[in-house]
Amino acid sequence: MAGNTFGKLFRVTTAGVSHGPGYLCIIDGCPAGLPLSVEDLLPDIRRRKPGQSKLTTQRKEDDLPEIWSGVFEGKTDGTPIGLVFRNGDQRSGDYGDIKDKYRPGHADYTFDAKYGFRDYRGGGRSSARETVCRVAAGAVAKKLLAREGIRVLGYVKQVGSVVADIPDPTAVTLEQVESNDVRCPEPDAAAKMIALIDEARMDRDSIGGVSELVAVGVPPGLGEPVFDKLKADLGKALLSLPAVLAFEYGNGFRCAEMRGSENNDVFVPTSGEGDSSPTIRTETNRHGGMLGGISSGEPIVCRVAIKPTSSIPRSQRTVTREGEATEILVKGRHDPCLLPRFVPMGEAMVALVLIDHLMRAKCGRLSG
Amino acid sequence: MAGNTFGKLFRVTTAGVSHGPGYLCIIDGCPAGLPLSVEDLLPDIRRRKPGQSKLTTQRKEDDLPEIWSGVFEGKTDGTPIGLVFRNGDQRSGDYGDIKDKYRPGHADYTFDAKYGFRDYRGGGRSSARETVCRVAAGAVAKKLLAREGIRVLGYVKQVGSVVADIPDPTAVTLEQVESNDVRCPEPDAAAKMIALIDEARMDRDSIGGVSELVAVGVPPGLGEPVFDKLKADLGKALLSLPAVLAFEYGNGFRCAEMRGSENNDVFVPTSGEGDSSPTIRTETNRHGGMLGGISSGEPIVCRVAIKPTSSIPRSQRTVTREGEATEILVKGRHDPCLLPRFVPMGEAMVALVLIDHLMRAKCGRLSG
Amino acid sequence: MAGNTFGKLFRVTTAGVSHGPGYLCIIDGCPAGLPLSVEDLLPDIRRRKPGQSKLTTQRKEDDLPEIWSGVFEGKTDGTPIGLVFRNGDQRSGDYGDIKDKYRPGHADYTFDAKYGFRDYRGGGRSSARETVCRVAAGAVAKKLLAREGIRVLGYVKQVGSVVADIPDPTAVTLEQVESNDVRCPEPDAAAKMIALIDEARMDRDSIGGVSELVAVGVPPGLGEPVFDKLKADLGKALLSLPAVLAFEYGNGFRCAEMRGSENNDVFVPTSGEGDSSPTIRTETNRHGGMLGGISSGEPIVCRVAIKPTSSIPRSQRTVTREGEATEILVKGRHDPCLLPRFVPMGEAMVALVLIDHLMRAKCGRLSG
Amino acid sequence: MAGNTFGKLFRVTTAGVSHGPGYLCIIDGCPAGLPLSVEDLLPDIRRRKPGQSKLTTQRKEDDLPEIWSGVFEGKTDGTPIGLVFRNGDQRSGDYGDIKDKYRPGHADYTFDAKYGFRDYRGGGRSSARETVCRVAAGAVAKKLLAREGIRVLGYVKQVGSVVADIPDPTAVTLEQVESNDVRCPEPDAAAKMIALIDEARMDRDSIGGVSELVAVGVPPGLGEPVFDKLKADLGKALLSLPAVLAFEYGNGFRCAEMRGSENNDVFVPTSGEGDSSPTIRTETNRHGGMLGGISSGEPIVCRVAIKPTSSIPRSQRTVTREGEATEILVKGRHDPCLLPRFVPMGEAMVALVLIDHLMRAKCGRLSG
């Protein structure tokens, strides 16, 4: 019950389905005094938007958010921010077949099993369209983080067998990420990924991949042991996104094959240019910026795996609601690869976790 | 702030440090009427206990829990279960050097950065000894789950380069897991793992690995979209454990290289032996028992990567609290590989998530 | 921070201000399968509506709710219910003076002190118009409660010095309450109250009162000691409403003058007509239906005091934002007495507490 | 379910029963750096202790708390504070009769109805002995509040028909409160109250009363509309204490008979001696220090009614667990009046609310 709120101090609550009037998003706990307008939300919303390129679904969504409350005279006023997204382009005829048959890889069956019935139109509540709320809330979080010198950036690291070589994740720029349709900052890999996605699309199939997410400027001390560790909350946030099957940070799964002497990062003094720089760092960042579940001051680096789109334009075996064997051909317009549009979603969830933990950490020490 | 409580309806709160009088654990929300005694907690506590074999630390902990409240005349009575673990074997001289130097891979620096100072004795609150509370609470959760026909079992899947071949995770038995010191149910792999751990230990080093966790009998319908999806809460739960760097379920990271037609599980009718069996299943279980973040009725299968022990008995470079370069030789008795003792911890966290979501799901439909 | 969500399992989150586009209300956790339409919400919304009679403000609000999500084919589907209320009648010129001066009895100064500035238009977030969300959510809760045989009813017990004599609160009917403008079920007292309110209005003043709230059919066992006792959550719920200064249940403040032998309710066997009737009751109900913070099965009876409207159409001394002495004449259309419109608000909060605790109590015992 | 945790940022979780080994209390979220020892907890624990005078129960409890964690080298270290209270004096023979009969005014029947059975020894979890945890946690909160210049003080305002005349609640000192056994700062009223309690005791009866609680130095801006208003959380906190039937602040129930012109407090400029003094105050404090549910900077003044002790040493009618009429004579040693020992409990709950809201308010504005 009641799983539609995220965060403890910076709280996001959403409602809405893809084929109803629209989505509601309430951000509760945003500090007062932040300049905010619809324009602040649009860049990331556009990066998430369907129909950006041939790599993404050709479905069109208007996605223009409206700020109904929480902003007064151009600044947040400390009261809950109410966002409204009206649904636009709904081809109501597209979902006839999914009413009675379960799409493989989708939540149709599990929603029915959970609630007894479901809004089958466009996936109802399980539609990834709800992530537009997360991306908007994440844009607010990013703006708050920027004031503290924290920047969150994601990109596509892998599509199918193509893995981009990105030796320094912290050197990647937004411009590099946005320079191509697949959002991979390494141009050669990007070209190969695009070809691979196109190939999958031509084969009436889809393909998976990996996104890497980086946060720089995160001060040491974020994360609340023993259960609300920063790594745990980042994992939860990213795994709550549709199609994410895996999460790792730092060395991640590779640590299984390593020895302690290879995996440990040794501490080193910093040259100490300027007063504000931290005086202690690690020589390497195999720990992905978190030790004991608390940020170390090193960049946070994590990765998630996104499965190939479950909706593929070919006939698949399945069963009806009554349990009889049948076939289904999922209609509609779907992304052949979810990765390009995932990037702003992933960034949003990282930003929501960081702002929440930043606010929590401020309570950790006595003032004065 | 305040990160020491886990769960929404079945809530576990812990306090304590490794070198104080002991640990406190309060389980709030356990239904009334469950037969419960210390004996129910002991098996898993013993599996977690240090000093079981040469593969684990030779440190001795008594770990005998006391039930102070919540159980009356042999049954839980609906009021909070209060558990007490007294600390035993504390070699107070062991931690002299870690007071002023930061151990690589540990939370010493991040705790200092967070709170201004730290209890350095044995790692203080960051000591993995706190997991004894989780394992005890998990044992209560397991007993509740067993009444619903749900069983949680973990084992070691990989140590270093040795990966056990376990074609059917649901066929693994507790007896197989407990049949060797490394807790790998495949005997040949187990033997190789043991050799590998021993080799690392002889080299004054440590080694990482992967644990696989399986839950069978989970009914369809657990998990609360859009944020408290079952996959998200499992990820958080397991990532909150010490040394866990990665989490995946079903195809996990392998999905990145797959196509939709390879990754999707098709639905099939079941032969339907008996009334209570589910009538709809999937032919394969690449989805690890969760679709749309909700359990599908198929077994839940997930994996986590555990890093090689950070404490290795060799000198490592580091800095002092004042930021000066130095070396540290971490004394004490440490596991050369964390995997064998991780298994009950991982099971406990999975059990805590499942009981919490089972209770939440019961509110999801109108009765009658 | 983040105080705009109410409830643990049946969760209501609201946003909106009186002079923006409207209000958003998200109900998360409503069980699936409840028939629900806008018509279910309208009766209580109309009882709360301004401009019902000369006893209430002549301000007009449209208050027609829209259900944007959570209802499919006429029934709740388990996903969050999204409600939208568009603001209608906004006389934007009315609030000029309150921008720079603090209205006595209002939250103008405290909002400024809290956030640094405030949306002064019509009180912004402190406007009682936000209670329209609560009343709508309460109507959903009431419908769920009705399925369990629980009915919540409120009425006006006192206005100024006029106290209605209502010997059996459980015998009051909705028809009696709605039979007059002041919502007092005792006709003679109602007439005197109406005269008193009219007198206050003529004097350019306002007047306070007491509302009594009754819930019948509440099963024994609701309430979660030691902190989330039913009495505590009812108190919080009602005190969270604007203008409520006091809460009591059962004997309430009168218990201060009583002896234990006068205040205790003795238990008696019931005649036991029918299987489903409780077998144990109390002879009297001085305890207002709660013992040890848990419902006893007897009717829940509580009372709240509502202060006289702070906005009175006469000049009052105050200070400017800069702290200089001045006078203010609060314009606009205000209720001379808040009591008549309070009744549905009070009922809503009681209903929200009861449904939340009913859902929580279901987890308290093992099934089977 | 799970109602044994209080607070959002400063969180108190308790377990334990009166006739088990003892109580556990975990305080999660206390900032690091606060000097703390058992001695800080003792004064309030002693004020709560049974057997202080002939006005209170002659039962003896040792009540010496042990700090098991969260304090290192004399200061809180940011990790959860674990407190342990061992139960001492338990006359196990005292509770034979209450096993099968329901004590009037107690929670025996409601616990049975809720959970199916109960720990009947000494009231089990419903024993007021659990408040020793609250008082200890409150002492920590008070110490934090004192650093911010906030002081919380309670006293007995009324016993039976004797009402103390205390024109300026903020002028009352701890010394005055502690100068007599009944904890009423007005000596004449105190003498009459003592006589009244003694009279009730001689009559084998008990008597109720009112406690007034005052917090001075509270900055404006605490409280989180619209649901977590300060008045709402204070009400919940105090109503969660055993035997509290009513809560009011400021004019409280008296506002029902008042007009707006009588109830409003006008704002006035302050003389402004010193930089740190607030520049805006109210001329009177009928609003009890809260406007719109947010603290105004004026002293917080509230009152609660405490019922006469339900356990009276005389035979009362009741029923058995099977619902048969019988009589019960409650044995044991009970307070003839709960008021004197209530004072530290009430202060503790006010302090817990204030520290929690102080921490929450710090997140409300952007820094810098």
How do residues B123-138 score in pLDDT, each as one tens digit?
Answer: 899 999 999 999 999 9
Q: Are D209 and D197 in contact (CB under 8 A)?
A: no
Q: Are C330 and C103 in contact (CB under 8 A)?
A: yes
pLDDT (tens digit per residue) in C24-48: 999 999 999 999 999 999 999 999 9
Q: Give the Cα separation of A64 and A35 in Å (integer).
A: 19
Q: Are A217 and A151 in contact (CB under 8 A)?
A: yes
Q: Between D339-361 and D230-239, two packed helices, what is the crossing angle to 10 degrees?
A: 150
Q: In angstroms, how far is the first alpha carbon of chain C from the final one?
A: 42
Mutation to test the B interface, candidates A131, A255, A285, most B Cβ within 10 Å: A255
Q: Give which of C205, C207, C203, C204 is closest to C182, Cα–Cα.
A: C207
Q: Check CB contact under 8 Å for C26 and A24.
A: yes
Q: Check CB contact under 8 Å for C119 and A82.
A: no
What distance in Å separates residue B328's CA from the closest CA in chain D?
A: 23
Contacts of B29 in chain C (CB under 8 A): 363
pLDDT of residue D42: 96
Q: Give the Cα separation of D15 and D87 in Å (integer).
A: 13
Give the largest Cα separation in chain B, rounded.
Answer: 70
pLDDT (tens digit per residue) in B212-265: 999 999 999 999 999 999 999 999 999 999 999 999 999 999 999 999 999 999
Tell me: is residue C310 an annotated ligand-binding position.
yes
Length, in residues, of chain B: 368
Tell me the pLDDT band of D330, cut-offs 50, 70 and 90.
confident
Q: Which residues contact A94 (CB under 8 A, 6 or more apart)?
A: A122, A331, A332
Tell me: is residue B127 an annotated ligand-binding position.
yes
Q: Check CB contact under 8 Å for C107 and D294.
A: yes
Tell me the pLDDT band of D344, cut-offs 50, 70 and 90.
very high
DSSP D48: H
Q: CA separation (Å) from B226 to A127, A240, B230, B264?
A: 10, 7, 10, 21
Q: Give the Cα separation of B280 and B265 in Å (integer).
A: 12
- ipTM (interface predicted TM): 0.96
Contact residues of B toward C, CB < 8 A: 8-9, 29, 31-34, 78-79, 144, 147, 225, 359, 362-366, 368
pLDDT of residue C278: 57
Contacts of B15 in chain D (CB under 8 A): 26, 28, 68-70, 79-82
Question: Pairing state of beta strands B325-329 and B315-319?
Answer: antiparallel
Strand, helix or coil at A212? strand
Contacts of C206 in chain D (CB under 8 A): 259-260
Strand, helix or coil at D27? strand
> Which domains are delineated in chain D?
5-361 (3.60.150.10)
Q: Are C257 and D161 in contact (CB under 8 A)?
A: yes
C278 or D363: whose pLDDT is higher?
D363
Q: Give the Cα separation of A20 and B10 in Å (integer).
A: 35
The radius of gyration computed from the CA coordinates of chain A, to the nearest angstrom, equals: 21
Q: CA separation (Å) from D270 to A275, D281, D288?
A: 42, 6, 18
Tell me: is residue D57 an annotated ligand-binding position.
no
Place of tokens 């993404």: A56
3-state helix, strand, coil in chain D (%, to 5): 30, 25, 40
D1 forms bridges with which residues in the sheet? none
Nearest residue in chain C measured CA to CA from D7: C227
- What would the two tokens of residue A143 be? 């703006």
DSSP B305: E
Q: Give the Cα separation of D207 and B34 in Å (integer).
A: 40
Place of tokens 């202790």: D49
Q: Check CB contact under 8 Å for B364 and C32.
A: yes
Torsion of CA A287, A291, A297, A298, to 10 degrees: 0
Edge-to-edge strands, sheet with B65-69: B5-6, B11-16, B22-28, B81-86, B65-69
Q: Check CB contact under 8 Å for C365 and B78.
A: yes
Q: How many CB atoms lie within 10 A of CB A352?
A: 28
pLDDT, mean of residues C187-201: 97
pLDDT of residue B272: 57
Length, in residues, of chain D: 368
Q: Give the Cα separation of A87 and A16 in Å (integer).
A: 10
If phi > 0 it is left, if psi is from -120 to 50 it is alpha, else beta; for residue D55 that is alpha
Q: CA separation (Å) from B271 to A323, B278, B279, D6, D64?
A: 11, 10, 8, 51, 64
Classify the C-alpha dihedral A255-A257-A259-A261 as positive or negative. Answer: negative
Amino acid identity at D218 = V
Q: How many CB atoms lie within 10 A of CB D23?
A: 27
List chains touching C (3+ CB pairs under 8 A): A, B, D
pLDDT of residue C275: 53
pLDDT of residue B61: 57
Q: Are A238 and A300 in contact (CB under 8 A)?
A: no
Indicate the range of B45-59, B258-272, D171-185 predicted with least confidence: B45-59
Tell me: is residue D127 an annotated ligand-binding position.
yes
Q: Give the Cα separation of D23 and D11 in Å (integer).
A: 16
pLDDT (tens digit per residue) in A76-128: 999 999 999 999 866 555 566 788 999 999 999 999 999 999 999 888 999 99
Q: Give the Cα separation of D84 and D81 in Å (integer).
A: 10
Q: Which residues contact D167 (CB under 8 A, 6 or more apart)?
A: none
Q: Give the Cα separation of C262 and D314 in Å (integer).
A: 13
Q: Give the Cα separation of D270 and B41 in Å (integer).
A: 63
pLDDT of residue B58: 62
pLDDT, mean of residues D199-204: 96
Q: Check CB contact under 8 Å for B366 and C78.
A: no
Strand, helix or coil at C357? helix
Q: Give which of C35, C118, C18, C21 is closest to C70, Cα–Cα.
A: C35
The H or E element containing residue B317 is strand B315-319
What distance in Å separates residue A100's CA from the closest CA in chain C?
A: 15
Q: Between C38-48 and C131-147, two packed helices, what is the crossing angle to 10 degrees?
A: 130
DSSP of A50-111: TTSSTTS--------EEEEESEETTEE-SSPEEEEEE-----GGGGTGGGTBPPTTSSHHHH
Tell me the pLDDT band of D331, cut-offs 50, 70 and 90.
confident
Q: Which long-range contacts link A92-100 to residues 24+ away (Cβ below 8 Å)?
A: A92/A19, A92/A121, A94/A122, A94/A331, A94/A332, A95/A19, A95/A120, A95/A121, A95/A122, A95/A331, A95/A332, A97/A328, A97/A329, A97/A330, A97/A331, A98/A328, A98/A330, A100/A320, A100/A321
Tell me the pLDDT band of D278, cut-offs 50, 70 and 90.
low
Contacts of D23 in chain B (CB under 8 A): 68-69, 82
DSSP B20: S
Q: Which residues contact A138 (CB under 8 A, 6 or more apart)?
A: A44, A344, A345, A347, A348, A349, A351, A352
DSSP of D335-355: -S-SHHHHHHHHHHHHHHHHH
pLDDT of residue D368: 47
Q: Give which of D215, D216, D255, D264 is closest to D237, Cα–Cα.
A: D215
What distance in Å separates residue B188's CA from the closest CA in chain C?
A: 43
Nearest residue in chain D measured CA to CA from B81: D15
Q: Check CB contact under 8 Å for B270 and A126.
A: no
pLDDT (tens digit per residue) in B193-208: 999 999 999 999 999 9
Question: What does residue D326 show for φ and ψ, rounded to 5 degrees?
Answer: -160, -170
Torsion of CA A126, B305, A227, B145, to 10 degrees: 70
pLDDT of residue A74: 97
Q: How many CB atoms lie within 10 A of CB A227?
A: 24
- What would the two tokens of residue B27 be? 């389980």
Q: Give the Cα separation of A303 and C292 in Å (integer).
A: 51
- What would the two tokens of residue A168 be? 């320094």
Q: CA separation (Å) from B119 to A267, A343, B92, B127?
A: 20, 40, 13, 10
**Closest residue to B365, CB basis, from C31, C364, C366:** C31
Q: Are C53 and C161 in contact (CB under 8 A)?
A: no
Beta-strand ranges (E) seen in chain C are 5-6, 11-16, 22-28, 65-69, 71-72, 75-76, 81-86, 151-159, 162-163, 209-216, 244-249, 267-269, 280-282, 290-291, 294-295, 300-306, 315-319, 325-329
Q: Which residues of chain A have pLDDT under 70?
A: 57-62, 89-96, 271-278, 367-368
pLDDT (tens digit per residue) in D26-56: 999 999 999 999 999 999 999 998 877 777 7
Q: Check CB contact under 8 Å for A11 and C26.
A: no
Q: Check CB contact under 8 Å for D105 and C242.
A: no
Q: Give the Cα separation of A37 and C147 in Å (integer).
A: 45
